[in-house]
Amino acid sequence: MKTSEYSKHIEYWTLDRNITFLNHGSFGATPLKIMAKQNYYRELMENEPVDFFVNKMPELLNESKGKLAKFIGVDNNDIVFVQNTTTGVNQILTSFPYKSGDEWLVTSHAYGACMNAIKHFAHRNNIVLKIADIPFPVKNDEEILNAIGQMISSKTKLALIDHITSATGMIFPIKEVIDLLHDHGIKVLVDGAHAPGMVDLDIIGLDADIYVGNCHKWMCAPKGSAFMHVKKEFKEFIKPLVISHFNDTDINGDSYWSNQFMWDGTHDFSQYICVGDTIQFMNSLQPGGWKGIMDHNHKLAWQGANLIAQRLNIELPLEEKFIGSMVNIPMPDGEEGFPKFNETSPLKKVLFEKYKIEVPVFFFPSAPTQWLRISAQLYNSLEQYEYLGECLESLK
């Protein structure tokens, strides 16, 4: 069986040409030019570490954050860099005010690490955690809103809601969910790990109380770059995990809150500094800039998934409106047992070892029901999904 070719955009990435990489969703992939830029910042740091950390770095960081703020349409003083969404979510959960007996809400589609975090903090603080069981496949927004609505009570204070889910690759009707929760006076923490760079993100329009998103997934920034956006009225109690320098800078000014997060001790800040460069560089890769990238990736993912579904004579679980640039494809039941994070299921293993295809397999809601989740990024080609379909057919 022949392997498949990437699109011409592969020239901008260092991805292994011998692997059919259909999993941008898990950890993103950073273009070569941005890797070079990151090395440049690292060299700048090592050429004169003191001048770098004292003079250059704060300015570079602020400039990059400013570009990110513009990209997601928020005030630069209302966002801070964090290493990843997991850290951001933990940061919020550990700061969020509570009293014993409060209720928090999460859905059954929450990402494993964030589900563990909310379970941990709820248990530690004697908060009752309600899990809204959202079906999958889901037919319409009402099914999602009803499942969440059923778990709301007068004691519910905080909800952790995914914007785009991980194991089910689904765009939630996030604005409607936020409005529903707000109608009951519940604060909303959005896990937007996949959203920046996959969908046109309007955090202010969504009215999310707190929004955490990754730059290292669909924006293609270097690993370890993410952000937290916090509405002004919540800044008072959302504090950094690490109390450090700049905790007392501009105390009565607009930058007081974001300053507190800036210096979590000495480390390599180059991935944060690269975020602004990545936004600019990616924008130049496709006619229509970022909008063009999002449209391209959505179309490719949807076309690719439909092509596979037709070939295997199966139905896709979701309507197109729930899809960004990841699509779940139903597979025959897999093994019993539930592979943990980074454990490889037999289907994933055979696709990788026999056919050199990198694509994740998820068990949802639990084993043995399994799904393949394909991703589409500029470097992928339709031919690669044809190849995956061909390989899956040969496994039948």
Ligand X SMILES: Cc1ncc(COP(=O)(O)O)c(C=O)c1O
Residues 141-170 touching ligand X, rule: CB under 6 A, are: 162, 165-166
Is 84 a binding residue for ligand X by CB under 6 A? The answer is yes
CB of 79 to ligand X, least distance (A): 16
- Which of 194, 296, 298, 348 binds ligand X (CB under 6 A)? It is 194
Cα(396)–Cα(393) distance, integer angstroms: 5
- Residue for token digits 């998934």? 305
Reported as type and span, the H/E element at residue 122 is helix 112-124
Reduced to 3 states (helix: H, G, I; strand: E, B; else coil), residue 306 is helix
Is 113 a binding residue for ligand X by CB under 6 A? The answer is yes
What one-letter code names the amino acid at 286?
Q
Is 264 a binding residue for ligand X by CB under 6 A? The answer is no
Is 114 a binding residue for ligand X by CB under 6 A? The answer is yes
Query: Which stretch in 10-18, 79-87, 256-264, 357-365 sits in contact with ligand X by CB under 6 A?
Result: 79-87
Reported as type and span, the H/E element at residue 79 is strand 79-82
Q: Which is nearer to ligand X, 112 or 253 (CB)?
A: 112
Query: Which stretch in 5-13, 179-187, 191-199, 268-276 sits in contact with ligand X by CB under 6 A?
Result: 191-199
Q: Which is nearer to ligand X, 173 or 292 (CB)?
A: 173
Supply 272's token pair.
């944060």
Supply 200's token pair.
């046109």
Nearest to 363 by CA among 336, 384, 390: 336
Task: State how far the alpha carbon of 152 is from the alpha carbons of 85, 208, 392, in Å.
Answer: 25, 17, 42
Q: What is the 3-state secondary structure (H, E, C) of 124-155?
A: HCCCEEEEECCCCCCCCHHHHHHHHHHCCCCC
Query: Which stretch in 50-58, 65-73, 106-114, 322-330 sits in contact with ligand X by CB under 6 A?
Result: 106-114
CB of 33 to ligand X, least distance (A): 22
Is 90 a binding residue for ligand X by CB under 6 A? The answer is no
Q: Which is it for the CA torsion 204, 207, 208, 210, positive or negative?
A: positive
CB of 129 to ligand X, least distance (A): 17
- Which of 193, 285, 305, 361 binds ligand X (CB under 6 A)? It is 193
Query: Which stretch in 68-76, 146-154, 187-195, 301-309 sits in contact with ligand X by CB under 6 A?
Result: 187-195
* Footprint of ligand X (CB under 6 A): 26, 84-86, 111, 113-114, 162, 165-166, 191, 193-194, 214
